[in-house]
Amino acid sequence: MRLAVIQQANSADITANQAHSEQLIRAAAAEGAVLIMLQELHNSLYFCQSEDVANFDLAETIPGPSTLWLSQLAKELGVVLVGSLFEKRTTGLYHNTAVVLEKDGTLAGCYRKMHIPDDPGFYEKFYFTPGDAQWNQGGSGFQPINTSVGRLGLLVCWDQWYPEAARLMALAGAEILLYPTAIGWDTTDTNAEQQRQLDAWIIAQRAHAVSNGLPVVVANRVGFETSPLADAPGGGVDFWGHSFICGPQGEMLAHAAHQEETALVADIDLQRSEEVRRIWPYLRDRRVDAYAELTKRFID
């Protein structure tokens, strides 16, 4: 199966951002991609660099304008599209939500980001409520979405650091792990520190592929986005790109550069997960009888 991730820089012009995304989506479809994923919060600038109630005007319902746009595009191109939205669930309740549009334009499902960060330049707790721990008829919030191209284990950005999230998706039958992302550097950090952060980010996600025997697909944004805060370290965030697609042993299949805007395309073979799990049967050897304390915040 051929899939693609869209890596792009954003501006304050939502219409222009969507037009650029559409151009890259069409390029990926022209190369034969049947599953295409956009980066986190792809419609706008990454507004979470500050806490500003005016930014709630960016939120929209599902279904709404963005899902309509993605639906029409998915149907026209005959592809499965994964988008990322600032969702207004109701007045005063908002989520960071990924959506999946089927080849026929229908909404296959959505995932509300479970782990919400709150760090300088990434003030997401001000905007987003975590996804529901139980939903979809009592299922886990870490529930794969069924599509014509496979069961998608869709997670979002900060979720990518948590092995529990990847494992729960795998246990629920996900065939691919997908991470729309918006992550970058504080430009006041040293080059060595920036490299360590980038390496850790790649290693952590490749490890999810290895420990679960599943392909991992990551879409990050690029470009420097200025902070509206006068005292922001470095004046903003330098989004580091490096979107990638890897196989079930963590092998790199495609890897974008730091500032490259691209439709990154690669072929994956879902059957390889069966082959890999036969020689590395991690799920067989899990000691489920000994893991109860994982549900604790800390073991005193």
> So which residues are the catalytic ones?
40, 113, 157
Residue among 248, 243, 270, 281 at smallest CA distance from 2:
270
> Which residues lie below 8 Å from residue 61, measured CB to CB, with a gap of 6+?
87, 88, 89
> In angstroms, rounded to a whole number, what is the distance separating the alpha carbons of residues 42 and 9?
9
In one-letter notation, the amino acid at residue 83 is: G
DSSP letter at 300 equals -
Q: Which residues of 55-92 are buried (b: 16+ CB within 10 A; e: fewer)?
A: beebbbebeeebbebbbebbbebebbbbbbbbbbeeee
Calpha distance 138→258 (Å, rounded): 41
Residue 2 near residue 266, CB atoms below 8 Å: yes
- What does DSSP assign to residue 237? E
Helix 65-77 to helix 14-30 angle (10° resolution) is 20
Convert 157-194 to b/e letters by CB count within 10 Å (16 or more is b). Answer: bbbbebeebbbbbbbeebbbbbbbbbbbbbeeeeeeeb
